[in-house]
Amino acid sequence: MNSQLIQQGRAAYRAGDFSAAAQMLGAAKTPDEIMGEADHLRGNALMHLGMYAEAAEAYAAALNDGTYGKRGALLTNRGKALAAVGDYTTAAQAFSAATQDASYATPFKAYLGLGNALFQSGDYANAGTAFRQAAIDGANPAPAAALGELGRCFIKLGRPADAVETYRTAIDFAGPRDDTRALNAGMGQALSAAGRPSDALDAFNAATADGIYQLTSEQADELARVHDSLAALSAQTAMATAPAPAMDAPAVDPLDPTGATGQFMPDPSDTGFFTLSESEMVQQDRQDRKQAKVRRRHRHTGLKVFIVLLLLILIAAGGLGFVYTRGFGFPSQESVVTDLFQAAGDGDTAKAESCLASSLSEDAKSMIISSIPQGATVSVEGMDQSMTETTAKVKASLSKGGEQEYTVKFVRSDNHIGWAVSSLDMDFSAADNQ
């Protein structure tokens, strides 16, 4: 057992160099030597590298170390590795065994994995039972995601009404770690299956409103069916309300000199003015005054146009105020965090500091910039937005092939329109390092 290589492997893993970590930890011991910690960490590194079959073997080796413990975590990770290579049956067995470990602090992870494995195997009823267990686990910080998966099971089981209620509950309980866009997309599927295409369209629009979330192929197909249903309903409504076709009437020529149409050309010499009686002249005067009123009303057209433009401006201002309270701004949160990582990676300290909140001390700014790995590219996985603060889940793809998740908090910038980063913390909860 080479303790120096194990220490170097740990350091490489923490630095995100998963390839070096896997090699060092693998070389630190012979295959017949038992050390659960080394095999556990090696399995995690292999998972980051996408070498799932090898990771499953590493976790199996770690399970041979009875003194190491962490049986529930090892079985859950082994189940994830097996599911990644498509062996859902063996994966379900590993997840199920993990749920039996009374010392396992986060059994909801095993239930989530079990639900996914059973769902992929087509066992939607038992998958739903597993997702329900994950949702009600008090240790689960994001039960809404498990409820969303339960909603998928209800749809597959032909119970769209139950799916709608499950998604509604999931959206109500959604927190900063939950992706409400995915939940709204699932709600759209459920509402469409329940025969409510108009409500389904609203749910799909809510899912894609920020332009970040991309519908799955299954959700995109369901959205297409929603559009087809609404188009068919619109056509039926139009046919039901269309006026009956008018009977063809004979064309009437008002200037027909022969009188064949019953309309005679008037005599140019007949003005009718000199033959008007006094009462007819009074009536004519009334008509003239009515026409004068109409002309005066027409003179106010400019005022009406001004009022309409004013109303449009007020509506636009109200719309801008609404999106501001929902957390939108320019530059956006995604743009700011992308610029921050790129500037820090390029060594452009001035530009990186411009992405940070002005209220931070110089030491705090330097600490954030120095913690950003060089050459990393980021993507925003989810956001909890409000008018003045935003918390985002950000995934960084490291230059050496690994990934690291961060929790990034934003505040409004000094101009109160855009956003600036106020804190950036590494999030190891999803790194499979249990």
In angstroms, the CA 252 to CA 426 distance is 84
* Nearest alpha-carbon partner for 127 in 156, 106, 165: 156
pTM for the predicted model, two decimal places? 0.56
**pLDDT band at residue 296, thresholds of 50, 70 and 90?**
low
Domain 333-427 fold is Nuclear Transport Factor 2; Chain: A, (3.10.450)
Contact 427, 405 (CB under 8 A): yes
CB 98 within 8 A of CB 72: yes
What's 3-234's CATH class? mainly alpha
Query: What pLDDT score was predicted for residue 88?
Result: 97
Lowest mean pLDDT among 26-40, 181-195, 199-213, 301-315: 301-315
**241-255: per-residue pLDDT in tens?**
656 555 454 444 444
CA angle 352, 357, 361 (to 5 degrees): 90
Q: In 3-state terms, what secondary structure has residue 14?
A: helix
Q: Is the peptide bond before 331 cis (omega within 30 degrees of 0)?
A: yes
Same fold, 3-234 and 333-427: no
Classify the C-alpha dihedral 352-355-361-367 as positive or negative: negative
Whether the Cβ atoms of residue 76 and residue 114 lie closer than 8 Å to each other: no
Q: Token pair for residue 243? A: 């006026």
When pLDDT is averaged across residues 214-223 and rounded to a whole number, the result is 93
Least confident of 108-117, 169-178, 276-285, 345-354: 276-285
Which sequence spans correspond to the domains of the chain?
Answer: 3-234, 333-427
241's enclosing H/E stretch is helix 217-241
d(CA 99, CA 93): 10
- Read off the pLDDT band of 119 (50, 70, 90): very high
pLDDT band at 386 (very low <50, low <70, confident <90, very high): confident
- Write the CB contacts of 46 (distance below 8 Å, at least 6 apart in sequence): 18, 22, 52, 54, 55, 58
Tokens 């998928």 — which residue?
A: 152
Identify any residues that bridge with 423 across adjacent strands, giving them in sequence order: 409
Whether the predicted pLDDT of 376 surpasses 60: yes
pLDDT tens readout for residues 99-117: 999 999 999 999 999 999 9
CB 215 within 8 A of CB 223: yes
How long is the chain?
434
